[in-house]
Amino acid sequence: MKAAGVVVEYNPFHNGHLHHLLESKNATGADLVIAIMSGNFLQRGEPALVDKWTRARMALEAGVDLVVELPYSFATQHAEVFAYGAISLLNALRCESFCFGSESGNISAFETTADQISRYRDQYDLKVQDYIKQGMSYPSALSSAYQELNLSNHLIDLSQPNNILGFHYIEARNKIESSMKAFTISRKNAGYHDQSFTSSNVASATSIRKSIFSEDGGLSKISPFVPSTTLKALQAYRKRYGDLHGWEMYWPLLKYRLLSSTAEELRVIYEIEEGIENRLKNCAKTSFSFYEYMEKVKTKRYTWTRIQRMSLHILTNTTKQAMMDRHTEPKYIRLLGMSSIGTRYLNKIKKEITLPIVSTISKGNPSDTFLDRKASEIYSLGHIEPEKQADLYRKEYATPPIIVSR
- Report, as an integer, the average pLDDT of 106-134: 88
What CA–CA distances, in Å, run from 274 to 108, 271, 290?
A: 39, 10, 22
User: Residue 148: pLDDT above 90?
Assistant: no
For 34, the 3-state DSSP assignment is: strand
- Report, as an integer, the average pLDDT of 256-263: 97
Task: Pick out the residues of the known binding site for ATP.
Answer: 7-20, 101, 162, 187
Query: Domain map of the chain by residue range?
Result: 3-103+164-176+178-194+325-404, 247-323
The reported pLDDT for the residue numbered 145 is 84
| pLDDT tier at 264, thresholds 50, 70, 90 | very high
User: Residue 279: pLDDT above 70?
Assistant: yes
| pLDDT tier at 132, thresholds 50, 70, 90 | confident
Residues 209, 222: Cα–Cα separation, whole Å: 9
The string of pLDDT tens digits covering residues 290-338 is: 999 999 999 888 889 999 999 999 999 999 999 987 778 999 999 999 9
Superfamily per CATH, domain 3-103+164-176+178-194+325-404:
HUPs (3.40.50.620)
The reported pLDDT for the residue numbered 194 is 54
Q: What is the mean pLDDT of the chain?
A: 92
Task: Pick out the residues of the known binding site.
Answer: 7-20, 101, 162, 187
**54 and 10 Cβ atoms separated by less than 8 Å:** no
| C-alpha torsion sign, points 280, 282, 288, 294 | negative
User: Residue 154: pLDDT above 70?
Assistant: no
The number of beta carbons lying within 10 Å of the beta carbon of residue 345 is 22
Lowest-confidence range among 149-153, 179-183, 192-196, 356-360? 192-196
Give the β-pairing of 3-8 and 97-102.
parallel
The reported pLDDT for the residue numbered 75 is 97
From start to end of 167-256, where are the E strands? 181-186
User: Residue 347: pLDDT above 80?
Assistant: yes
Residues 114, 404: Cα–Cα separation, whole Å: 38
The string of pLDDT tens digits covering residues 202-256 is: 899 999 999 998 866 679 899 999 999 999 999 999 999 999 999 999 999 999 9
pTM: 0.93
User: Residue 199: pLDDT above 70?
Assistant: no
Inter-helix orientation angle 121-133/138-149, to 10°: 130
The string of pLDDT tens digits covering residues 52-97 is: 999 999 999 999 999 999 999 999 999 999 999 999 999 999 999 9
Strand partners, 7: 36
Cα dihedral angle (103, 294, 273, 271), rounded to 10 degrees? -50
